[in-house]
Amino acid sequence: MNAYEATLDLLSREVLVNLEAKRLRLGPRPEACADVLRALGLEGVINYIDTFNPSAGAPYHNAQHEAAVVTLVYEAGLYHNLGRRELRALVVAAAMHDFDHSAGALPDSKNIEAAVEGLYLLHTAVAFTSSAITDSETALAEQLIRVTQYPYISGTNDLLEDIMRDADLMMPMLADPLRADLFKGLAREMQATKSFTKQEFADGIIDFFKKVVWHSTWAVEKAATQGWPHHLESLHAVLGH
């Protein structure tokens, strides 16, 4: 077993076993997210986002959402036995995909461009540090950030894009109060451009998630074995009251 494999084995035992519980902790940087970034030599990403991300406290597209997606893509990457370059690019993309998000004020195409700009600023900021991200990893991370633009402008083209899109849609599987806070925050962001009642939002968001089609084997299995319909029912109840 080489050093990288040993690290993944350690994380599998010490992080992934407690992943669900760790991900639910409130705060600017949930512990599991920081564990994942450190394990992949990406400590500089933590410092950069905590220092420079203007949307860390947004109602939905915030530090908690970013941290959840980071831990989910890491989980999926281990499930699919991804190599180090692919896993690092996925985690960087997850950490940066909503960087400087407008929280509903701008179309998502603008949010994606802001995130990509932040990605390349990150690439420069950590270039001469122990957290350096290669040109190849950065280019792949950009590709993965762009696949999260919604409404979707294209289908997914490979496993990494499948994982990125799937992980971004897994938020109903979080536990309350974090899940409730995030989706109530999403309602506030959407009200920047739309008017609706609390019940209309609850009905609409559940209808959206009922139509989700999972792409990766990881997501298909996770949704099937961890009760996706039950999560949607409980989310609807929380949002409708």
Residues 75-115 pLDDT 10s: 999 999 999 999 999 999 999 999 999 999 999 999 999 99
Structural domain includes residue 111: yes
- Closest Cα to residue 122, out of 102, 94, 146, 148? 94
Give the pLDDT score at 4. 46
Q: What is the CATH number of the domain that holds 11?
A: 1.10.3210
- Is residue 159, in this structure, part of any structural domain at all? yes
Helix (H) or strand (E) holding 188: helix 178-190
Q: Is residue 211 part of a domain?
A: no
Place of tokens 């600023």: 121
DSSP labels for 83-141? -HHHHHHHHHHHHHTTTT--TTSS-HHHHHHHHHHHHHHHHHHTTTSTT---HHHHHHH
Tens digits of residue pLDDT in 174-226:
989 999 999 999 999 999 999 999 999 999 999 999 999 999 999 999 999 99
In a domain, 72, yes or no: yes
Q: At what angle do helices 31-39 and 84-96 cross, to 10 degrees?
A: 140
Question: Does residue 117 sit within a domain?
Answer: yes
Q: What is the mean pLDDT of residues 142-147?
A: 98
Query: 87 to each of 40, 45, 140, how far by Cα in Å?
Result: 8, 14, 10
What b/e readout covers 153-188, taking b as 16+ CB neighbours within 10 angstroms?
Answer: eeebeebbbbbbbbbbbbbbbbeeebbbbbbbbbbe
* Tally of structural domains, the chain: 1
In a domain, 209, yes or no: no
Task: Please give the residue range of the domain that contains residue 152.
Answer: 3-171
Stretch 45-60: mean pLDDT: 92
Is 240 a member of any domain? no
Local confidence band at 31 (pLDDT 50, 70, 90 cut-offs):
confident
Q: 96 lies in a domain? A: yes
Tokens standing for residue 51: 């220092």
| pLDDT confidence tier of residue 50, bands split at 50, 70 and 90 | confident
Torsional sign, CA 198, 203, 204, 210:
positive
Residue-wise over 201-233: b if at least 16 C-beta within 10 A, else e? bbeebbeebeebebbbebbeebbeeeebeebbe
Who has greater pLDDT, 33 or 214? 214
